[in-house]
Amino acid sequence: MRDDTLRRRAAMILPRPEEKAAYVRAMFTGIAPTYDRLNRLMSLGLDRQWRRWAVVHARVRPGDRALDVATGTGDIAFALARRVGPEGEVVGVDFSEGMLSLAGAKARESGIADHVRFQWADALDLPFGEGEFDAATVGFAGRNVTDLPRFFSEMRRVVRPGGRVVHLEISRPKLPIFRTLFQLYFYHLVPLIEGRLAGSRDAYTYLPNSLTLFPGVDELVQIMADAGLREVRAYPLLFGTITIHVGVVP
């Protein structure tokens, strides 16, 4: 499918900018109970490895303090916690109460609730002071915010100088053969299969279409740099269908 056709379709499907935050919050609360299971299915079980790679790029060490923004059910936060150890601390924030509830339950079941905590927060107005964290991460949530420059500026603000901001997200592959296969899977099979299993066709129609209007890999590098991050790099995974962006706080 041509890119311009995808963009026209996405513009018709996606909520208007002024409605997006409320729509996304309600959507993720609604799909929270099936979110982890469907992530495993949609990624063929690879999503946990991608999250671990994002945490590797955060370069946190034992005793560090890390922030996971739009934490969802907490998988990146838990991977960070294994890196910082019991002497460190991980804070996961989200604005979906349903996701936070599940993340807290998973933390208690894992026995690490004493050094991983979850709280409600708006990613565009983080309730933390400057330089409170050694790193900030976000996974598969950049497409859902309404102001990307402010989003990255907020993460940069709360990370100390020399710390890292890490962004993990689905991306559009550049090679034509992989791009065609990706579009078939992501725009057609995912909404059909995942929507039925989740009982929410709207959610799994929104999710792929939100990528259509999301900045490309190179454009996102520039957005992060404009937000004040330095040495911004992009690391493609799985033939360019997943990308980890990393920036350093000056």
Residue with tokens 């936070």: 100
Alpha carbon distance 235, 231 (integer Å): 13
Question: What local confidence, expressed as pLDDT, does residue 30 receive?
Answer: 85
Give per-residue pLDDT as tens, 23-45. Answer: 889 888 888 888 888 888 888 88
Spatial neighbors of 40 by CB under 8 A, at least 6 apart, are 47, 48
The Cα 118–Cα 172 span in angstroms is 31
Tokens of 249: 């706080």
Q: What gap in Å lies between CA 171 and CA 234, rounded to an integer? A: 11
* Distance from C-alpha of 64 to C-alpha of 134, rounded to nearest angstrom: 6
Residue 183: per-residue pLDDT: 80
Tell me which residue of 166, 190, 195, 174 sits closest to 238, measured CA to CA. Answer: 174
Query: What's the rounded Cα separation, in Å, for the pair 31 and 24?
Result: 11
Please, are residues 92 and 103 in contact by the beta-carbon 8 Å criterion?
A: yes
pLDDT recorded at residue 101 = 95
- For residue 8, what pLDDT is reported? 75
Q: Are 64 and 135 in contact (CB under 8 A)?
A: yes
3-state secondary structure the chain: CCHHHHHHHHHHHCCCHHHHHHHHHHHHHHHHHHHHHHHHHHCCCCHHHHHHHHHHHHCCCCCCEEEEECCCCCHHHHHHHHHHCCCCEEEEEECCHHHHHHHHHHHHHHCCCCCEEEEECECCECCCCCCCEEEEEEECCHHHCCCHHHHHHHHHHHEEEEEEEEEEEECCCCCHHHHHHHHHHHHHHHHHHHHHHHCCHHHHHHHHHHHHCCCCHHHHHHHHHHCCCEEEEEEEEHHHCEEEEEEECC
Per-residue pLDDT of the chain (250 residues; tens, 9 = 90+): 556 777 777 677 788 888 999 988 988 888 888 888 888 888 888 999 999 999 999 999 999 999 999 999 999 999 999 999 999 999 999 999 999 999 999 999 988 888 899 999 999 999 999 999 999 999 999 999 999 999 999 999 999 999 999 999 999 888 888 788 888 877 777 777 665 665 656 667 788 788 888 999 999 999 999 999 999 999 999 999 999 999 999 9
* Domains along the sequence of the chain with CATH: 18-32+44-174+214-248 (3.40.50.150)
Number of other residues whose CB lies within 10 A of the CB of residue 11: 12
This prediction's pTM: 0.92
pLDDT, residue 156, reads 98
